[in-house]
Amino acid sequence: MKEIIFSKYSNERSRSFAIRTDIVEEDGKRWLEKKWLYPEGKEHVLRMKKWNQKLDQMYGEVPFLSNKCEIGEDCAYFEYLEQENLAEYLDDLLGKGEKEKAEKIFTEYLENVQKLHSKKPFTITEEFKNVFGDVPMPGGLTCTDVTNIDMICDNVVMTRPYTLLDYEWTFEFPVPCEFVLYRIIHYYIQTHKVREVLNAAGFYEKFGISEVMRTSFSRMESGFQVYITGTHVPMREMYATMTPGVEYLSLSNLGPLQVYFAEQRGMYSEASSVKRPIMAGKVKCTLNLPKSCRFIRIDPGDHPCTVHLAAIRFDRMPASMDGVLTPDGTICGSWAFLSRFDPCIVDIEVPEGAKNLTLNLEIDEAKEDMLNEIRALEVRSHSLKGVLGERAREAVDRLKNGRESSAKKGK
Protein backbone atom coordinates (compact mmCIF):
# COMPACT_ATOMS: atom_id res chain seq x y z
CA MET A 1 0.00 0.00 0.00
CA LYS A 2 1.32 3.43 -0.97
CA GLU A 3 2.21 5.54 2.08
CA ILE A 4 3.48 9.10 2.44
CA ILE A 5 6.20 9.04 5.10
CA PHE A 6 7.33 12.69 4.85
CA SER A 7 5.96 15.92 3.34
CA LYS A 8 7.52 19.32 2.89
CA TYR A 9 5.52 22.32 1.71
CA SER A 10 7.34 25.03 -0.25
CA ASN A 11 4.41 27.41 0.00
CA GLU A 12 6.10 30.66 1.01
CA ARG A 13 6.26 31.38 -2.72
CA SER A 14 4.10 32.79 -5.46
CA ARG A 15 1.36 30.45 -6.68
CA SER A 16 3.40 29.72 -9.81
CA PHE A 17 6.16 28.05 -7.77
CA ALA A 18 4.38 26.68 -4.69
CA ILE A 19 4.91 22.91 -4.46
CA ARG A 20 4.73 19.98 -2.05
CA THR A 21 7.49 17.37 -1.89
CA ASP A 22 6.60 13.91 -0.55
CA ILE A 23 8.73 10.88 0.26
CA VAL A 24 6.52 7.96 -0.69
CA GLU A 25 6.95 4.27 0.13
CA GLU A 26 5.26 1.17 -1.28
CA ASP A 27 6.36 -2.46 -0.89
CA GLY A 28 9.68 -1.36 0.58
CA LYS A 29 10.51 1.00 -2.31
CA ARG A 30 10.78 4.76 -1.87
CA TRP A 31 10.63 7.68 -4.28
CA LEU A 32 10.03 11.45 -4.27
CA GLU A 33 6.97 13.21 -5.64
CA LYS A 34 6.77 16.94 -6.33
CA LYS A 35 3.19 18.24 -6.74
CA TRP A 36 1.94 21.68 -7.68
CA LEU A 37 -0.26 23.29 -5.02
CA TYR A 38 -2.13 25.56 -7.47
CA PRO A 39 -2.96 25.27 -11.17
CA GLU A 40 -0.49 28.08 -11.89
CA GLY A 41 2.36 25.83 -10.66
CA LYS A 42 1.68 22.91 -12.99
CA GLU A 43 4.02 24.17 -15.72
CA HIS A 44 6.83 24.72 -13.19
CA VAL A 45 6.66 21.08 -12.06
CA LEU A 46 6.27 19.61 -15.55
CA ARG A 47 9.34 21.54 -16.76
CA MET A 48 11.52 19.42 -14.46
CA LYS A 49 11.47 16.53 -16.96
CA LYS A 50 12.80 18.89 -19.61
CA TRP A 51 15.55 20.11 -17.28
CA ASN A 52 16.46 16.52 -16.40
CA GLN A 53 17.08 15.73 -20.08
CA LYS A 54 18.91 18.96 -20.94
CA LEU A 55 21.15 18.87 -17.88
CA ASP A 56 22.10 15.22 -18.43
CA GLN A 57 23.20 16.10 -21.97
CA MET A 58 25.33 18.89 -20.56
CA TYR A 59 26.68 16.90 -17.59
CA GLY A 60 28.18 14.29 -19.91
CA GLU A 61 31.40 16.33 -19.90
CA VAL A 62 32.00 15.78 -16.19
CA PRO A 63 31.08 13.09 -13.66
CA PHE A 64 27.56 14.47 -12.88
CA LEU A 65 24.01 13.22 -13.35
CA SER A 66 20.74 14.97 -12.62
CA ASN A 67 18.30 13.00 -10.48
CA LYS A 68 16.06 10.98 -12.80
CA CYS A 69 12.63 12.52 -13.36
CA GLU A 70 9.38 11.08 -14.73
CA ILE A 71 6.02 12.80 -15.06
CA GLY A 72 2.92 11.31 -13.45
CA GLU A 73 -0.73 12.25 -13.50
CA ASP A 74 -0.43 15.08 -10.96
CA CYS A 75 3.24 15.24 -10.08
CA ALA A 76 6.85 14.68 -11.06
CA TYR A 77 8.57 11.53 -9.76
CA PHE A 78 12.22 11.39 -8.70
CA GLU A 79 14.53 8.64 -7.53
CA TYR A 80 15.00 8.53 -3.76
CA LEU A 81 18.72 8.47 -2.90
CA GLU A 82 19.98 7.62 0.58
CA GLN A 83 23.70 8.46 0.19
CA GLU A 84 25.06 11.45 2.08
CA ASN A 85 25.32 14.77 0.30
CA LEU A 86 28.51 16.70 -0.41
CA ALA A 87 27.94 19.16 2.44
CA GLU A 88 27.64 16.31 4.94
CA TYR A 89 30.74 14.62 3.54
CA LEU A 90 32.83 17.79 3.72
CA ASP A 91 31.55 18.52 7.25
CA ASP A 92 32.64 15.05 8.32
CA LEU A 93 36.14 15.61 6.90
CA LEU A 94 36.45 18.98 8.64
CA GLY A 95 35.22 17.42 11.88
CA LYS A 96 38.06 14.89 11.63
CA GLY A 97 40.60 17.65 10.99
CA GLU A 98 41.11 16.63 7.34
CA LYS A 99 41.00 20.19 6.01
CA GLU A 100 43.31 19.58 3.03
CA LYS A 101 41.22 16.66 1.77
CA ALA A 102 38.00 18.66 2.16
CA GLU A 103 39.56 21.58 0.31
CA LYS A 104 40.71 19.31 -2.51
CA ILE A 105 37.28 17.72 -3.00
CA PHE A 106 35.46 21.07 -2.77
CA THR A 107 37.88 22.56 -5.31
CA GLU A 108 37.41 19.65 -7.73
CA TYR A 109 33.64 20.07 -7.56
CA LEU A 110 33.89 23.82 -8.25
CA GLU A 111 36.29 23.19 -11.15
CA ASN A 112 33.80 20.80 -12.76
CA VAL A 113 30.98 23.32 -12.33
CA GLN A 114 33.18 26.00 -13.88
CA LYS A 115 34.07 23.74 -16.81
CA LEU A 116 30.37 23.22 -17.58
CA HIS A 117 29.29 26.84 -17.33
CA SER A 118 32.11 28.92 -18.84
CA LYS A 119 31.45 28.33 -22.56
CA LYS A 120 30.82 31.87 -23.81
CA PRO A 121 30.69 35.55 -22.72
CA PHE A 122 27.75 36.52 -20.53
CA THR A 123 25.22 39.07 -21.80
CA ILE A 124 22.23 40.57 -19.98
CA THR A 125 18.79 39.73 -21.42
CA GLU A 126 15.24 40.75 -20.51
CA GLU A 127 14.67 37.23 -19.15
CA PHE A 128 17.64 37.73 -16.85
CA LYS A 129 16.24 41.05 -15.57
CA ASN A 130 12.84 39.45 -15.00
CA VAL A 131 14.33 36.81 -12.67
CA PHE A 132 17.29 38.57 -11.04
CA GLY A 133 16.44 42.25 -11.37
CA ASP A 134 18.11 45.07 -13.26
CA VAL A 135 21.49 44.54 -11.61
CA PRO A 136 24.63 46.34 -12.87
CA MET A 137 27.04 43.56 -13.85
CA PRO A 138 30.84 43.72 -14.19
CA GLY A 139 32.55 42.68 -17.42
CA GLY A 140 34.42 39.46 -18.09
CA LEU A 141 31.69 37.06 -16.95
CA THR A 142 31.02 33.75 -18.70
CA CYS A 143 27.97 31.52 -19.13
CA THR A 144 26.47 28.58 -21.01
CA ASP A 145 23.11 27.82 -22.68
CA VAL A 146 21.36 26.03 -19.76
CA THR A 147 22.09 26.81 -16.11
CA ASN A 148 20.97 25.14 -12.90
CA ILE A 149 21.80 27.87 -10.38
CA ASP A 150 21.12 25.67 -7.33
CA MET A 151 24.17 23.36 -7.48
CA ILE A 152 24.93 23.97 -3.79
CA CYS A 153 26.61 21.19 -1.80
CA ASP A 154 23.35 20.17 -0.07
CA ASN A 155 21.96 19.26 -3.51
CA VAL A 156 24.90 17.02 -4.50
CA VAL A 157 24.52 13.35 -3.57
CA MET A 158 27.76 11.38 -3.23
CA THR A 159 26.91 8.71 -5.78
CA ARG A 160 29.40 7.76 -8.51
CA PRO A 161 29.10 9.90 -10.53
CA TYR A 162 27.63 12.69 -8.37
CA THR A 163 23.85 13.10 -8.64
CA LEU A 164 22.46 16.65 -8.66
CA LEU A 165 19.10 17.06 -6.91
CA ASP A 166 16.54 19.83 -6.95
CA TYR A 167 17.17 21.43 -10.33
CA GLU A 168 13.86 23.30 -10.44
CA TRP A 169 15.74 26.61 -10.74
CA THR A 170 17.18 25.97 -14.19
CA PHE A 171 17.15 28.65 -16.90
CA GLU A 172 17.77 28.76 -20.66
CA PHE A 173 18.97 32.36 -20.79
CA PRO A 174 22.53 33.50 -19.91
CA VAL A 175 23.35 33.35 -16.18
CA PRO A 176 26.93 34.03 -15.05
CA CYS A 177 29.00 30.93 -14.31
CA GLU A 178 30.63 32.98 -11.56
CA PHE A 179 27.23 33.48 -9.89
CA VAL A 180 26.71 29.70 -9.72
CA LEU A 181 30.18 29.30 -8.17
CA TYR A 182 29.49 32.20 -5.77
CA ARG A 183 26.30 30.52 -4.50
CA ILE A 184 28.09 27.20 -3.95
CA ILE A 185 30.92 28.85 -1.99
CA HIS A 186 28.65 31.19 -0.05
CA TYR A 187 26.03 28.64 0.94
CA TYR A 188 28.63 26.10 2.06
CA ILE A 189 31.39 28.09 3.73
CA GLN A 190 29.66 31.26 4.89
CA THR A 191 26.57 29.75 6.51
CA HIS A 192 28.40 27.80 9.22
CA LYS A 193 31.22 28.97 11.47
CA VAL A 194 33.01 25.58 11.49
CA ARG A 195 33.30 25.63 7.69
CA GLU A 196 35.05 29.02 7.61
CA VAL A 197 38.37 27.21 8.06
CA LEU A 198 38.18 26.69 4.28
CA ASN A 199 38.38 30.47 3.74
CA ALA A 200 35.65 31.73 1.43
CA ALA A 201 37.74 34.72 0.30
CA GLY A 202 40.46 32.35 -0.90
CA PHE A 203 37.98 30.33 -2.95
CA TYR A 204 36.42 33.45 -4.44
CA GLU A 205 39.88 34.61 -5.48
CA LYS A 206 40.85 31.19 -6.84
CA PHE A 207 37.83 31.19 -9.15
CA GLY A 208 38.14 34.83 -10.23
CA ILE A 209 35.18 36.14 -8.24
CA SER A 210 36.11 39.70 -7.29
CA GLU A 211 34.51 41.78 -4.54
CA VAL A 212 32.72 43.83 -7.22
CA MET A 213 31.25 40.61 -8.61
CA ARG A 214 30.16 39.49 -5.13
CA THR A 215 28.29 42.76 -4.63
CA SER A 216 26.41 42.23 -7.91
CA PHE A 217 25.72 38.58 -7.07
CA SER A 218 24.28 39.51 -3.66
CA ARG A 219 21.85 41.78 -5.46
CA MET A 220 21.05 39.04 -7.96
CA GLU A 221 20.26 36.66 -5.09
CA SER A 222 17.96 39.22 -3.53
CA GLY A 223 16.19 39.76 -6.86
CA PHE A 224 15.84 36.01 -7.29
CA GLN A 225 14.15 35.65 -3.88
CA VAL A 226 11.69 38.40 -4.87
CA TYR A 227 11.02 36.52 -8.13
CA ILE A 228 10.20 33.34 -6.18
CA THR A 229 7.81 34.99 -3.72
CA GLY A 230 6.22 37.37 -6.24
CA THR A 231 3.22 39.12 -4.68
CA HIS A 232 2.83 36.43 -2.03
CA VAL A 233 3.20 37.77 1.52
CA PRO A 234 4.76 35.14 3.83
CA MET A 235 2.88 34.32 7.04
CA ARG A 236 5.66 35.86 9.17
CA GLU A 237 4.90 39.27 7.63
CA MET A 238 1.18 39.11 8.55
CA TYR A 239 1.83 39.37 12.29
CA ALA A 240 0.28 42.80 12.73
CA THR A 241 -2.86 41.87 10.80
CA MET A 242 -3.46 38.70 12.81
CA THR A 243 -2.44 39.97 16.27
CA PRO A 244 -4.81 42.33 18.17
CA GLY A 245 -3.18 45.38 19.71
CA VAL A 246 -0.37 45.71 17.19
CA GLU A 247 -0.85 48.90 15.21
CA TYR A 248 2.03 48.81 12.75
CA LEU A 249 4.37 46.31 11.19
CA SER A 250 7.05 47.43 8.79
CA LEU A 251 6.54 45.60 5.51
CA SER A 252 10.15 46.00 4.42
CA ASN A 253 12.23 43.13 3.13
CA LEU A 254 13.96 42.68 6.48
CA GLY A 255 12.23 39.40 7.33
CA PRO A 256 12.10 38.12 10.93
CA LEU A 257 14.74 38.28 13.64
CA GLN A 258 16.18 34.82 14.33
CA VAL A 259 18.19 33.88 17.43
CA TYR A 260 20.22 30.66 17.50
CA PHE A 261 21.37 28.83 20.65
CA ALA A 262 24.47 26.61 20.69
CA GLU A 263 26.53 24.57 23.15
CA GLN A 264 29.72 25.15 21.16
CA ARG A 265 31.05 28.15 19.27
CA GLY A 266 29.79 28.16 15.68
CA MET A 267 27.57 25.06 16.04
CA TYR A 268 24.19 26.61 15.19
CA SER A 269 21.16 24.87 13.72
CA GLU A 270 17.60 25.74 12.73
CA ALA A 271 16.27 23.26 15.30
CA SER A 272 17.83 25.30 18.13
CA SER A 273 16.55 28.72 17.17
CA VAL A 274 13.55 31.01 17.60
CA LYS A 275 12.10 33.75 15.40
CA ARG A 276 10.52 37.04 16.39
CA PRO A 277 8.84 39.60 14.10
CA ILE A 278 10.56 42.89 13.38
CA MET A 279 7.80 45.42 14.02
CA ALA A 280 8.33 48.95 12.71
CA GLY A 281 12.04 48.17 12.59
CA LYS A 282 12.18 47.23 16.27
CA VAL A 283 12.49 44.07 18.35
CA LYS A 284 11.99 43.98 22.11
CA CYS A 285 11.80 40.55 23.68
CA THR A 286 13.05 38.31 26.48
CA LEU A 287 13.90 34.72 25.59
CA ASN A 288 14.50 31.74 27.85
CA LEU A 289 17.95 30.22 27.31
CA PRO A 290 18.36 26.45 26.98
CA LYS A 291 20.31 25.10 29.98
CA SER A 292 23.24 23.96 27.85
CA CYS A 293 23.46 27.18 25.80
CA ARG A 294 26.93 28.76 25.78
CA PHE A 295 26.79 30.91 22.63
CA ILE A 296 24.11 32.74 20.66
CA ARG A 297 23.88 34.09 17.13
CA ILE A 298 21.54 36.91 16.13
CA ASP A 299 20.27 37.21 12.53
CA PRO A 300 18.51 40.60 12.21
CA GLY A 301 16.46 39.81 9.11
CA ASP A 302 17.52 38.82 5.61
CA HIS A 303 18.97 42.00 4.09
CA PRO A 304 21.92 44.35 4.65
CA CYS A 305 21.07 46.59 7.59
CA THR A 306 22.15 48.83 10.41
CA VAL A 307 21.32 47.63 13.92
CA HIS A 308 21.21 49.85 16.99
CA LEU A 309 22.13 47.52 19.84
CA ALA A 310 20.11 49.35 22.47
CA ALA A 311 20.33 46.33 24.77
CA ILE A 312 21.65 42.78 24.66
CA ARG A 313 21.51 41.43 28.21
CA PHE A 314 21.86 38.07 29.90
CA ASP A 315 19.59 38.23 32.92
CA ARG A 316 20.38 41.86 33.86
CA MET A 317 24.02 41.96 32.80
CA PRO A 318 25.07 43.54 29.45
CA ALA A 319 26.51 41.01 27.01
CA SER A 320 30.21 41.13 26.26
CA MET A 321 30.91 41.69 22.56
CA ASP A 322 34.54 40.54 22.83
CA GLY A 323 35.30 37.90 20.22
CA VAL A 324 31.98 38.43 18.44
CA LEU A 325 32.02 37.92 14.66
CA THR A 326 30.18 40.07 12.11
CA PRO A 327 30.78 38.53 8.64
CA ASP A 328 30.90 41.34 6.05
CA GLY A 329 30.21 43.84 8.79
CA THR A 330 31.51 45.71 11.80
CA ILE A 331 30.37 46.86 15.25
CA CYS A 332 31.09 50.46 16.28
CA GLY A 333 29.99 51.19 19.81
CA SER A 334 26.29 50.35 20.07
CA TRP A 335 25.83 50.09 16.28
CA ALA A 336 26.29 47.13 13.96
CA PHE A 337 26.72 47.72 10.23
CA LEU A 338 26.06 44.46 8.34
CA SER A 339 26.54 44.61 4.57
CA ARG A 340 25.72 41.02 3.57
CA PHE A 341 22.43 39.36 2.77
CA ASP A 342 21.49 37.02 5.64
CA PRO A 343 23.33 39.35 8.08
CA CYS A 344 24.41 37.96 11.44
CA ILE A 345 26.14 38.71 14.73
CA VAL A 346 27.84 35.47 15.70
CA ASP A 347 29.28 33.85 18.85
CA ILE A 348 28.02 36.11 21.62
CA GLU A 349 29.17 34.27 24.74
CA VAL A 350 26.55 33.34 27.34
CA PRO A 351 27.68 33.85 30.96
CA GLU A 352 27.59 30.69 33.04
CA GLY A 353 24.26 30.23 34.77
CA ALA A 354 22.40 32.84 32.69
CA LYS A 355 18.72 31.97 32.22
CA ASN A 356 17.30 34.77 30.07
CA LEU A 357 18.32 36.83 27.04
CA THR A 358 16.81 40.31 26.65
CA LEU A 359 17.03 42.09 23.31
CA ASN A 360 16.19 45.68 22.42
CA LEU A 361 17.21 46.26 18.81
CA GLU A 362 16.39 48.89 16.20
CA ILE A 363 16.93 47.57 12.68
CA ASP A 364 16.93 49.55 9.46
CA GLU A 365 17.43 48.17 5.97
CA ALA A 366 20.33 50.00 4.33
CA LYS A 367 22.15 50.12 1.02
CA GLU A 368 24.86 47.50 0.76
CA ASP A 369 27.31 49.95 -0.86
CA MET A 370 27.00 52.37 2.06
CA LEU A 371 27.55 49.60 4.59
CA ASN A 372 30.60 48.34 2.70
CA GLU A 373 32.05 51.87 2.80
CA ILE A 374 31.49 52.03 6.57
CA ARG A 375 33.14 48.64 7.00
CA ALA A 376 36.10 49.70 4.85
CA LEU A 377 36.39 52.94 6.84
CA GLU A 378 36.45 50.96 10.09
CA VAL A 379 39.19 48.69 8.72
CA ARG A 380 41.23 51.74 7.65
CA SER A 381 40.64 53.30 11.06
CA HIS A 382 41.98 50.21 12.83
CA SER A 383 44.95 50.19 10.47
CA LEU A 384 45.63 53.87 11.16
CA LYS A 385 45.40 53.27 14.90
CA GLY A 386 47.93 50.49 14.52
CA VAL A 387 50.31 52.73 12.58
CA LEU A 388 49.90 55.60 15.08
CA GLY A 389 50.48 53.20 17.95
CA GLU A 390 53.65 51.92 16.33
CA ARG A 391 54.88 55.45 15.68
CA ALA A 392 54.17 56.40 19.31
CA ARG A 393 56.14 53.41 20.57
CA GLU A 394 59.04 54.35 18.27
CA ALA A 395 58.94 57.93 19.59
CA VAL A 396 58.97 56.70 23.20
CA ASP A 397 61.90 54.40 22.41
CA ARG A 398 63.84 57.27 20.76
CA LEU A 399 63.15 59.52 23.73
CA LYS A 400 64.23 56.81 26.16
CA ASN A 401 67.40 56.07 24.18
CA GLY A 402 68.15 59.81 24.01
CA ARG A 403 67.84 60.16 27.76
CA GLU A 404 70.08 57.15 28.35
CA SER A 405 72.66 58.57 25.95
CA SER A 406 72.57 61.97 27.68
CA ALA A 407 72.95 60.32 31.06
CA LYS A 408 76.05 58.44 29.91
CA LYS A 409 77.61 61.64 28.52
CA GLY A 410 76.89 63.42 31.80
CA LYS A 411 78.91 60.84 33.63
pLDDT in tens, 170-214: 999 999 999 999 999 998 998 777 788 898 889 999 999 998 899
pLDDT tens by residue, 136-148? 899 999 999 999 9
Q: What are phi and psi of 300, to 5 degrees?
A: -85, 65
pLDDT at 50 over 50: yes
Mean pLDDT of 355-369: 84
Percent of the chain with pLDDT over 90: 52
Query: Would you place residue 342 in the very low, low, confident or very high pLDDT band (cuts 50, 70, 90)?
Result: confident
